[in-house]
Amino acid sequence: MAVDTHSTLGPRGQASQAALSNVPNVPGSAKPDPILDVHSVKRSFGGLTAVDVEQVQVQRGAITALIGPNGAGKTTFFNLLTGFDAPDTGEWTFNGQQVAGTAPYKLARRGMVRTFQLTKALSRLTVMDNMLLGAKGQTGEHIYAAFFPFLWSKQERANRERAMELLSRFNLAEKSVDFAGSLSGGQRKLLEMARALMSDPELIMLDEPMAGVNPALTQSLLHHIKDIREEGTTVLFVEHDMDMVHDIGDWVIVMAMGQIIAEGPPGAVMKDQNVIDAYLGTHHDKELTDSGKSLTVDSDPEGTHS
Amino acid sequence: MDIGFVLAQSITQALGVTAIIYCLAAIGLNIQFGYTGLLNFGQVAFVTVGAYSIGVVVVTMGLSLWLAIPVALLASVVLALILGIPTLRLRADYLAIVTIAASELLRLVVRSIALRDIFGGVNGINGKIGAQFHALNPLPEDFVTPYLTFSRQDAWVVFVGWVLIAIVSFGVWLLVRSPWGRVVRGIREDEYAVVSLGKNVFVYKMQALILGGMVGALGGIIWAIAKQSVQPDTFVPDVTFFTYTILLLGGAARIFGPIVGAILFWFLLAGVGEFLSQAIQAGWIDFLKPTDVGPIRFILVGMGLMSLMIFRPQGIFGDKRELALDGR
Ligand SMILES: Nc1ncnc2c1ncn2[C@@H]1O[C@H](COP(=O)(O)OP(=O)(O)OP(=O)(O)O)[C@@H](O)[C@H]1O
Ligand SMILES: [Mg+2]
C-alpha cells in the first residue's frame, strides 16, 4: 500500500494512513474511527436499483475517494447521505448519531456539507455573497436582527476576511465582486468548494470537484484538499480522475451498479480484478453487458478476497 | 384639447390613492417575488384581507379603527401561513396555483349570500370606515394646485400613504442588504444550494411570504380607509396582475422599483385615457366612441409594456447584468 505521496503527507495524513493500514481490503470493512457508518441503504427509481449499499464506513480524518463508472450510483448515494433524497430503506450514523431522515439543512449545520456535481453557484449573487452564505451561525440571518446592522456588522466583517482568505486560496480573489454567473464552469466548481469550506465542516463531501478544472490548477487544488485534511476535516470525494484518486486518496471505495464492490488503499484497489472489470466494462461498449453480468456475480467479497 | 388638463389628471392619478395602494401591494410582492423568488399569484388576497378586516371590525362589529389595523395585519399573517405551510415545501409552481386559487376563493367567500351579515355580500361594506383616521386630518381645505388636485380627505390619505411607503421601503432596504436578505436572494437562485449550506429554507420563504403579505394588507387597509367602502368585485385577479406589471415596469428586486413602477403605471394609464377622451371629443378620432377609451388605454399601455420588456427587460431600475446571467 505504498502511496507515492508519503513525502508530502502532513502529520494527520500519516496518522490516518497508519490507522487504515490494518483495515482489511474488503467491501464494508470496519474502520477504527468511523465518522460515517452506513447500513443497508437502498434506493430504487422504478425498476432500477440505483443504490444498494450493505455496509460502508468512512474513516474520520482521512481522505476517502468514492469511485465507480458512470451511473454507478455515487451521486445518488451522496444525495441520500446528505438528506437531499430519501432511501427506501436503510440507516446511517454521522459522528455516532442516527441521522437517517434528518433534514438536509440540519445535517449541514452538524458539519456534513456537500457540493454538487452540477454546480449550484448562485448566479445573480456576487462571488463574495456566495461565500458569505456559507458561514455558519450568522446573527444577521435572523429576521429581527437583520434590521439592526450594529448587531451583526462585526461578525460580517470577520466572515468577509475569512472568505477573502479562502478565495485567494482558490484563485478567485479578484472575482469577489463579480456575479457568480460570470464565472467559468471550472471557477464555479472552485467557488462551490470554497463556499462549502466557509462553514468549517467536519466532513466535506465533494462530488467531482475537479471536473472541468484545468490541470495546472488541479495540482494546487490537490494541495488544498490535503491542507483541509491537515486542518482536521474529513474529506469524501467522488472522482473519475484516477491520478488524482491515487495522489491524495488514503482510502478508495468503489461502487458499481449501486453496490460497493471493492475497498482499500488506492494502489491495491486499482489492481483489483473487480474494479478493472467494472471500469473496462464501461470503456469497451461491446463487452458492457457481459462484464456487467459477471460483475454482480464477482461482487461477492468472499469470492475474491478470502 | 387641453394638454395641461391631461397632464394634471395624470399626475394626480400617479400620486393618488390608487397608486399608493398598488405601490404597497408591489412592495410586498417585491419581497416575495423580487427578492425571494416566490411566485405569489394571489397578492390581491392579502389586499382583500387587509381591506375586509378593517371593514368588518369597524362597521360590522362597530369597534375602533385602531383595533382594526392590527387585526388586519394579523389576518394577513394567518393567510400567509395557510397558503405557505402546505406549499412552500413543494416546487415553486404549487405556490402559484394555490395563491391564485385562494385569492378567487376569498373573493367568492366575502361576496357570498350566506355570509352577507358579516361581509355584506355583493354590496360589500360601506359606511364611515375611516372616520377615526379622517378626524385626525390637519389640513384646513382641499389641496388645489395647477397640476395636482386632491380633496381635503384624499390629500390626508395621500400624505400618510407616501410616508408609509417611505418607512416600509426603508425597512425593506435594511432587510435585503442584511445577511437575511442574502439568504433569500440565494433561495431565489437555487434553494438546494442554500439548503446545502445549512439554512432552513422553508422558514425563510415563510418569513418572506408573511412580510410581503403584511405589506400588501397595508395597501388594503389604506383602500378601506380612503374609499370608505369595500366592494368584493374590485378584488379580482387583475389587481395581482397589475401589481406584477408595476413591479416589472419599475424593476424587480430594486427598492425603488415598485415606487417608480406604480407612479409610472398610473400616470400612463390615466394619461392615455384622458388624452383619448379629449381627442374623441375634439373630433380628432372619429372611429372610436368615448366608451371605447377604457379598454383601448389598456391595449396601448399593454403594448408599451411589451416594448419595455423587449428593449429593457430588467425594468427601469433593474440591472441588465443580472438578467444576462440567467440562462446559464
Ligand atoms: N432522479 C432519478 N430518476 C431516475 N433515475 C435516476 C435518478 N437519479 C439517478 N438515477 C439513475 O440512478 C443511477 C445512478 O445515478 P448516479 O447519478 O447516482 O450515478 P453516478 O455514479 O453519480 O454517475 P456519474 O459518474 O456519471 O456522475 C443511474 O442509472 C441513473 O440513471
Ligand atoms: Mg454523479
- Neighbouring-strand partners of residue A52: A42
For B54-193, list the strands marked E by DSSP. Answer: 125-126, 143-144, 149-150
Ligand 1 atom 28 nearest Cα:
A71
Contacts of A122 in chain B (CB under 8 A): 185-186, 189-190, 193-194
Measuring CA to CA, which residue among A57, A55, A59 is closest to residue A19?
Answer: A59
- The enclosing H or E element of B230 equals strand B229-230
Q: What nine digits make up the cell of A42? A: 437502498
Contacts of B206 in chain A (CB under 8 A): none
Residues B110-119 as b or e (16 or more Cβ within 10 Å = b)? bbeeeeeebb
Mean pLDDT of chain B: 92
C-alpha span between B258 and B28 (Å, rounded): 9
Answer whether A69's CB lies under 8 Å from A282's CB: yes
Burial label for A5, CB within 10 Å (0-12, 13-18, 19+), is middle
Q: A170: Cβ–Cβ under 8 A, 6 or more apart, which residues?
A: A190, A191, A193, A194, A221, A224
Q: What nine digits make up the cell of B58? A: 369597524
pTM for the full predicted model: 0.90
User: Mind telling me how many Å the CA of B81 is from chain A's nearest CA?
Assistant: 17
C-alpha span between A29 and B14 (Å, rounded): 73
The whole-number pLDDT of residue A281 equals: 63
Encode chain A in three state secondary structure.
CCCCCHHHCCHHHHHHHHHHCCCCCCCCCCCCCEEEEEEEEEEEECCEEEEEEEEEEEECCCEEEEECCCCCCHHHHHHHHCCCCCCCEEEEEECCEECCCCCHHHHHHHCEEECCCCCCCCCCCEHHHHHHHHCCCCHHHCHHHHCCHHHCHHHHHHHHHHHHHHHHHCCCHHHCCCEHHHCCHHHHHHHHHHHHHCCCCCEEEEECCCCCCCHHHHHHHHHHHHHHHHCCCEEEEECCCHHHHHHHCCEEEEEECCEEEEEECHHHHHHCHHHHHHHHHHHCHHHHHHHHHHHHHHCCHHHHHC
C-alpha span between A303 and A96 (Å, rounded): 31
Q: A133: Cβ–Cβ under 8 A, 6 or more apart, which residues?
A: A122, A125, A195, A198, B182, B183, B186, B194, B197, B199
The whole-number pLDDT of residue A24 equals: 85
C-alpha span between A253 and A132 (Å, rounded): 33
C-alpha span between B162 and B21 (Å, rounded): 10
Q: Identify the closest residue of chain B to A197 by CA–CA distance.
A: B197
Measuring CA to CA, which residue among A166, A230, A176, A219 is closest to residue A197?
Answer: A166
SS3 of residue B61 by DSSP: coil
Cell 361594506, residue? B125
For B29-113, list the strands marked E by DSSP. Answer: none
Q: Which atom of ligand 1 is nearest to the CA of A77?
A: 18
C-alpha span between A55 and A52 (Å, rounded): 9
C-alpha span between A145 and B178 (Å, rounded): 9
Between A204-208, A264-268, B52-56, B112-116, the lowest mean confidence (pLDDT) is in A264-268
Contact between A122 and B326 using a beta-carbon 8 Å cutoff: no
Chain-centroid distance of CA B21 in Å reads 5
pLDDT score of A27 more than 70: yes
Which pLDDT band, with edges at 50, 70 and 90, does B189 fall under? very high
ipTM of the complex: 0.88
Answer whether A110's CB lies under 8 Å from A200's CB: no
- pLDDT per position as a tens digit, A274-300: 778 777 665 544 332 333 333 333 333
Q: Cα-Cα-Cα-Cα dihedral of A230, A234, A239, A241, to 10°?
A: 20
Report residue A181: phi and psi, to 5°: -65, -15
C-alpha span between B12 and B263 (Å, rounded): 10
∠ CA A196-A124-A201, nearest 5°, is 5
- Neighbouring-strand partners of residue A179: A126
The whole-number pLDDT of residue B304 equals: 81
Q: B275: Cβ–Cβ under 8 A, 6 or more apart, which residues?
A: B6
Please tell me which of the candidates B174, B194, B322 has its beta carbon nearest to residue A179: B322
pLDDT score of B133 more than 60: yes
Measuring CA to CA, which residue among A113, A132, A114 is closest to residue A122?
Answer: A132
DSSP 8-state assignment for residue B64: -
Q: How far is the CA of B326 from the centre of ligand 2 (A)?
A: 24
The overall longest dimension of chain A from CA atoms, in Å, is: 66
- pLDDT per position as a tens digit, A204-218: 999 998 888 888 888
For residue A30, the one-letter residue type is A
The whole-number pLDDT of residue A298 equals: 37
Q: Which of A74, A79, A116, A237 should be mutated for ligand 1, with most atoms under 8 A from CB?
A: A74
C-alpha span between A303 and B152 (Å, rounded): 94
Q: What nine digits make up the cell of A185? A: 464552469
Q: Cα-Cα-Cα-Cα dihedral of B34, B38, B44, B50, to 10°?
A: -90
Mean pLDDT of chain A: 85
Question: What separation in angstroms does the CA of B30 have from each of A184, B35, B127, B177, B235?
Answer: 30, 6, 33, 14, 20
Query: What are A's interface residues with B at a Cβ cutoff of 8 A?
Result: 82, 84, 103-106, 108-109, 113-116, 120-125, 129-130, 132-134, 136, 138-143, 145-147, 149, 152, 156, 179, 181-182, 195-196, 198-199
Between A141-145, A301-305, B140-144, the lowest mean confidence (pLDDT) is in A301-305
- The enclosing H or E element of B201 equals helix B201-227
pLDDT score of B325 more than 80: no
C-alpha span between A178 and B255 (Å, rounded): 21
The whole-number pLDDT of residue B147 equals: 85
Please tell me which of the candidates B183, B195, B197 has its beta carbon nearest to residue A199: B197
∠ CA B83-B41-B306, nearest 5°, is 170
- pLDDT per position as a tens digit, B231-283: 999 999 999 999 999 999 999 999 999 999 999 999 999 999 999 888 888 88
